Amino acid sequence: MRISIIIPAHNEASYLSACLDSFADQTHIPDEVIVVDDNSSDRTFEIASDYAKKYSWITVLQRSSVDEHIPGKKVVDTFNFGLRHVSDYDLIGKFDADIILPPNYFESILNHFQSNWKLGMCSGLLYIKKDDDWVYEAIADKNHIRGPIKLYHKACFNKIEGLRPGVGWDTVDILLAKYHDFETLTDPTLKIKHLRPTGHGYSTKNYQTKGKALYKMRYGIVLTKIAALKMAWQAKSLRLYLQIILGYLRAMIRRIPRFVTKNEGAFIRKYRWKGIFTKII
């Protein structure tokens, strides 16, 4: 199975070398890794280019965009830019530039895909450094495939029609995979070091986009309140809860386009309620 990985990178000079070294140290190296330099002002392009000279399976592209941090949309747009340049693949990945993979990562993931024809998405788990230890980055359940380490089977990726450009892209993809009867899997034995904790660069306006994303996924107001409470509890921030609800209501008033169809939305709500009741019972 051919593996193609796209790494969107904006000002990642501090982390990119460690990331690419971990790719080079794999027991099963991907067939191609495309680093897309997204308008960086540091040495990201230079570092990536040096690795491309050293390894034939690494390609570097440059994309011009705005300097503003636009959570979700900017990274997906950069990924899609790289997607237009990939070779034929069986597995397609969107990985961040601030991660360090264990050496057996792709070998293990490949085994999972080859042993389960219904598997649409697969990953390990992200860990962040706390004091002298690496601890699980507990902003999502351990069965959730996180945005920095997305790997899709081509059949699943095509069925969900790629990635949605906006906050929530790394949740709606999993829900749509489930809708189309694909399975998803996280392997707890694969521990990935996340060098920069999630949430870097977020502002009040950005937090409102979380509520907007829940509207676009057709959660409905009750599920949105539950999701907002969970995120606010994890962040220990009442302000976050209020901003999410405000973002949802603004999106509803403006009737912005949705991420999913009505049928997909009905499935998503049913799936989420089932998960909630399972935890309660």
110-146: pLDDT as tens digits: 999 999 999 999 999 999 999 999 999 988 889 999 9
In our burial notation (b when 16+ CB lie closer than 10 A, e otherwise), range 246-266 reads: bbbbebeeeeeebbbeeebbe
Percent of the chain with pLDDT over 90: 82
Encode pLDDT of 14-68 as tens digits.
999 999 999 999 999 999 999 999 999 999 999 999 999 999 999 999 998 766 6
- Running DSSP on this structure, what letter comes out for residue 116? -
Section 145-168 average pLDDT: 96
The pTM score is: 0.91
pLDDT exceeds 70 at position 13: yes
Give the rounded percent of residues in the chain with a pLDDT score beyond 70.
Answer: 95
Q: What are phi and psi of 60, to 5 degrees?
A: -120, 135
Contacts of 224 (CB under 8 A, 6+ apart): 211, 214, 215, 244, 245, 248
- Please check whether residue 153 is in contact with residue 90, taking contact to mean a CB–CB distance below 8 angstroms: yes
Whether 201 has a pLDDT exceeding 60, the answer reads no
Q: Which residue has the higher pLDDT, 37 or 234?
A: 37
